[in-house]
């Protein structure tokens, strides 16, 4: 009798565990499918915006009428911003200042600079016309490669990440295609990710173009904020492990994944879905991304902000969070330096917090280490003197001192006024020394967060 009860109990437990396993498998498949659909949408939108950007740039090059020139160059700037937002959501081995992202940023910025000049009655020089054509010539093959990826994804069911290496490849045979892809050659990519990597590598080989604009020297030749000294590969591994420990990835030993070049280049490391880069100079972490599958959200944006502040504190950062953007499964925060009540916007760190468990899953500290340095602030006008220069009926909600960047990376010491005018909110920046209006940003509020235009 007892034996029958025991067998029945085991059978029931087996059925329950089997049912639980099937349910978990279905949930995992559901999340995987949702993630893949989101990736596909992001890549498709990115390709669409990039294609329109290339078309508008071509039209802007042909246009002779100033009004038409302004129209198309402004649209290039707008499509560049849209493409960058989509590009940020595409799974990749790294985030932040990739060459693809940098190229799109500079293309949109240069077009915006020219459009503003023409609108103000200025003209475009012969050299700038040549630079514009150079950018367009570079965008055309970039656009073609992205469109080819879309076509292959639809016709060949191209996977998102490279398949696991075969035993033959593990033994060192048959790796020529992988090596060719790594150095940016035209070898056929095995996945969307490797295709984007090839595109990134091909852009890296091109000489930089020079122009005057907000992001003209975004990647500085001599970073201003890197600590002194250089680290070896072994020392970089220690730095990587220490970073992972501080953000909750305990007992992780990352594997070496190559080196990146340039003044901000260093040692790349991977462990499972985690990618991070340790700068050769100073041994600081410049890029980090965990591309794990994110479970259903359990945290609010406010709770995520608390987690972000905690992560910054654990990493030794003393920064102020200035903006947030909700991407559904995670929230992206921007944090900047604040010294003696002055917000220094060029010295920025971007971080991402997962909404399932509050874990830090992304960090880009490149802008901070590129631009951070000791600053001396000139004598400023009194606040009431500057307030009198604002437009009548502009209702000031907040005010503070700030450092912003204008064309050519020129830093300007300003009063920042957040206020409301005719039912909409704006950020106005007036020079703290002269009182001259330096910049205006319109605040667009959406369910995902606040955008500046």
Which residue, 371, 406, 427, sits at the end of a domain? Answer: 371
At 103, which CATH number?
1.20.120
Which among 326, 369, 316, 371 has a CA at the least distance from the CA of 344?
A: 371
What is the structure's pLDDT at 94?
Answer: 42
Instruction: Judge if 133 and 277 occupy the same domain.
Output: no
- The predicted model gives 35-60 an average pLDDT of 82
What percent of the chain shows pLDDT beyond 90? Answer: 31
Is pLDDT above 70 for 299?
yes
What is the structure's pLDDT at 169?
Answer: 43
96-124, pLDDT tens digit by residue?
Answer: 346 677 778 788 888 888 887 888 777 88
Confidence of residue 192 (pLDDT cuts 50, 70, 90): confident
Instruction: Judge if 256 and 147 occupy the same domain.
Output: no
Instruction: Judge if 317 and 394 occupy the same domain.
Output: no
Match 């060949």 to its residue by tokens. Answer: 156
What is the structure's pLDDT at 98?
Answer: 60
Instruction: Judge if 366 and 393 occupy the same domain.
Output: no
Q: Among 13-22, 100-109, 196-205, 267-276, where is mean pLDDT lowest? A: 13-22
Is pLDDT above 80 for 344?
yes
- The predicted model gives 431-449 an average pLDDT of 83
Determine, yes or no, domain membership for 428. yes
Q: What is the Cα–Cα distance from 148 to 150, expressed in whole angstroms?
A: 5
Determine, yes or no, domain membership for 69. yes
86 contacts 42 by C-beta, under 8 angstroms = yes
Determine, yes or no, domain membership for 2. no
Q: What is the Cα–Cα distance from 267 to 238, expressed in whole angstroms?
A: 12
227-262, pLDDT tens digit by residue?
Answer: 999 999 999 999 999 999 999 888 888 999 888 887
What domain range is 323 assigned to? 233-371
Q: What is the Cα–Cα distance from 386 to 388, expressed in whole angstroms?
A: 5
What is the structure's pLDDT at 97?
Answer: 40
Determine, yes or no, domain membership for 15. no
What is the structure's pLDDT at 397?
Answer: 94
DSSP 150-219: HHHHHHS--BSSPPPPPHHHHTT-S-HHHHHHHTT-SPPPSBHHHHHHHHHHHHHTSPPP---STTTTSS
- How many domains, the chain? 3
Considering only residues 18 and 305, tell me which one the structure prediction assigns the higher pLDDT: 305
Determine, yes or no, domain membership for 167. no
Instruction: Judge if 387 and 429 occupy the same domain.
Output: yes
Which residue, 324, 349, 371, sits at the end of a domain? Answer: 371
Is pLDDT above 80 for 409?
no
133-166, pLDDT tens digit by residue?
Answer: 888 888 888 888 888 888 887 787 777 665 555 5
What percent of the chain shows pLDDT beyond 70? Answer: 77
At 273, which CATH number?
3.30.310
Is pLDDT above 50 for 278?
yes
Instruction: Judge if 193 and 251 occupy the same domain.
Output: no
What is the structure's pLDDT at 324?
Answer: 86
- The predicted model gives 207-212 an average pLDDT of 54
At 427, which CATH number?
3.10.450
- The predicted model gives 77-102 an average pLDDT of 69
pTM over 0.75: no
Determine, yes or no, domain membership for 209. no
Determine, yes or no, domain membership for 5. no
Which among 187, 184, 192, 181 has a CA at the least distance from the CA of 154?
A: 192
Q: What is the Cα–Cα distance from 70 to 66, expressed in whole angstroms?
A: 6
What is the structure's pLDDT at 206?
Answer: 61
Confidence of residue 31 (pLDDT cuts 50, 70, 90): low
Instruction: Judge if 353 and 257 occupy the same domain.
Output: yes
Which residue, 371, 400, 415, sits at the end of a domain? Answer: 371
What is the structure's pLDDT at 267?
Answer: 94
449 contacts 324 by C-beta, under 8 angstroms = yes
Confidence of residue 215 (pLDDT cuts 50, 70, 90): very low
Confidence of residue 402 (pLDDT cuts 50, 70, 90): very high
What is the structure's pLDDT at 183?
Answer: 38
Residue 224: DSSP 8-state = S
Instruction: Judge if 362 and 427 occupy the same domain.
Output: no
Is pLDDT above 60 for 171?
no
Instruction: Judge if 259 and 138 occupy the same domain.
Output: no
What is the structure's pLDDT at 243?
Answer: 94
Instruction: Judge if 252 and 186 occupy the same domain.
Output: no
Q: What is the Cα–Cα distance from 59 to 71, expressed in whole angstroms?
A: 10
Instruction: Judge if 78 and 147 occupy the same domain.
Output: yes
Instruction: Judge if 274 and 136 occupy the same domain.
Output: no
Determine, yes or no, domain membership for 142. yes
Averaged confidence pLDDT in the chain: 80
């Amino acid at each position: 009798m007892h034996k029958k009860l025991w067998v029945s109990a085991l059978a029931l437990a087996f059925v329950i565990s089997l049912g639980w396993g099937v349910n978990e498998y279905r949930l995992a498949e559901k999340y995987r499918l949702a993630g893949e659909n989101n990736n596909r949408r992001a890549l498709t939108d990115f390709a669409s915006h990039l294609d329109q950007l290339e078309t508008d740039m071509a039209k802007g090059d042909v246009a002779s009428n100033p009004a038409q020139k302004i129209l198309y160059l402004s649209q290039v700037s707008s499509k560049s911003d849209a493409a960058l937002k989509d590009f940020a959501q595409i799974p990749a081995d790294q985030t932040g200042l990739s060459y693809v992202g940098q190229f799109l940023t500079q293309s949109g910025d240069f077009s915006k600079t020219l459009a503003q000049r023409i609108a103000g009655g200025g003209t475009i020089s012969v050299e700038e016309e040549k630079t514009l054509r150079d950018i367009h010539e570079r965008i055309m093959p970039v656009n073609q490669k992205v469109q080819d990826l879309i076509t292959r994804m639809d016709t060949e069911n191209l996977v998102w990440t490279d398949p696991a290496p075969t035993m033959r490849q593990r033994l060192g045979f048959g790796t020529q295609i992988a090596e060719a892809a790594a150095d940016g050659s035209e070898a056929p990519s095995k996945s969307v990710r490797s295709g984007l990597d090839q595109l990134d590598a091909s852009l890296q080989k091109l000489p930089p173009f020079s122009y005057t604009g907000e992001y003209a020297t975004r990647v500085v030749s001599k970073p201003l904020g890197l600590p002194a000294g250089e680290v070896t590969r072994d020392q970089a591994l220690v730095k990587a492990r220490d970073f992972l420990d501080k953000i909750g990835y305990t007992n992780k030993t990352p594997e070496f994944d190559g080196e990146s070049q340039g003044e901000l280049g260093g040692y790349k490391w991977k462990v499972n879905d985690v990618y991070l880069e340790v700068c050769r100079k100073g041994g600081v972490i410049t890029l980090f991304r965990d591309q794990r599958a994110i479970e259903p959200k359990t945290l609010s944006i406010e709770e995520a902000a608390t987690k972000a502040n905690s992560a910054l504190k654990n990493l030794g950062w003393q920064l102020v969070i200035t903006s947030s953007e909700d991407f559904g499964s995670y929230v992206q925060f921007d944090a900047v330096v604040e010294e003696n009540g002055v917000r220094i916007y060029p010295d920025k760190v971007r971080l991402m917090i997962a909404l399932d468990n509050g874990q830090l899953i992304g960090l880009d500290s490149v802008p901070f280490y590129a631009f951070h340095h000791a600053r001396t602030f000139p004598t400023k006008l009194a606040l009431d003197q500057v307030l009198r220069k604002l437009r009548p009926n502009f209702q000031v909600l907040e005010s503070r001192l700030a450092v912003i960047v204008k064309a050519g990376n020129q830093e300007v010491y300003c009063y920042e006024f957040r206020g409301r005018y005719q039912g909409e909110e704006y950020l106005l920046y007036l020079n703290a020394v002269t009182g001259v209006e330096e910049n205006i940003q319109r605040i667009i509020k959406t369910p995902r967060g606040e955008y500046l235009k």
